[in-house]
Amino acid sequence: MGARCYQTAAMVFEIVQVGDPVLRQAARPLDPAEIATPFIQELIVSMRMTMYDAPGVGLAAPQVGESLQLTVVEDDEEHLATISPLRRAETRRTPLPFTVLINPKLTPLGDETDEFFEGCLSLEGYSALVRRHRAVRVEALDGRGKPIKLDLEGWPARIVQHELDHLAGVLYVDRMDTRTFTTGENLGRWWKARPASEVRARLTP
């Protein structure tokens, strides 16, 4: 069950899964005056709690049943410490502090792209190769309604692009290389440490 009714206190939500229409709707922007309301402030706290509980590195409001232009992201050093230095360098994975993005606008910075496996909390148990811009600029309002601007590259840029897709009703399966779609078990067994070019070569007839 999603969070389709207004919350009265922060809580961990069940994450909406693919097939629910809310994941395919363009979320509505928030009026800046709404941001300070108890509902939105409690929603932000609940989304953060839900992201930690999943666990994940980002969560958009549609994933908890609220079609709003709101997302939270975080990829902290504690989590990154479990990833090998070689893998961190390959994926350009650097810490991303907890950030609230409301009514975000994204601009690619340059033409370079990267391709890595992505999963999604709303498509549990699956992953696929997805090509994303290597660097982006995000302009948004924060959790207090203040304007912020972030220039991101590498994995932080990928996280934000993934979450902002949710606000447009887009899922990573819309962007994936369909031949690389895999279960989480097979990702770990066959593909996770391999370069995208090698994965594609092995899957091409």
Q: What order of strands is seen across the sheet that includes strand 70-75?
A: 58-60, 70-75, 96-108, 135-141, 147-153
Q: Token pair for residue 60?
A: 């958009």
Residues recognised as catalytic: 163
Q: Which amino acid is at 132?
A: R
Query: In this structure, are residues 130 and 175 in contact, taking their beta carbons and an 8 Å threshold?
Result: yes
Query: In this structure, are residues 116 and 91 in contact, taking their beta carbons and an 8 Å threshold?
Result: yes
Query: In this structure, are residues 162 and 172 in contact, taking their beta carbons and an 8 Å threshold?
Result: yes
| Cβ neighbours of residue 78 closer than 8 Å, sequence gap 6 or more | none
Question: DSSP for 140-185?
Answer: EE-TTS-EEEEEEESHHHHHHHHHHHHHTT--GGGTB-GGG-EEHH
User: Does the CA dihedral 37-53-166-149 come out positive or negative?
Assistant: positive
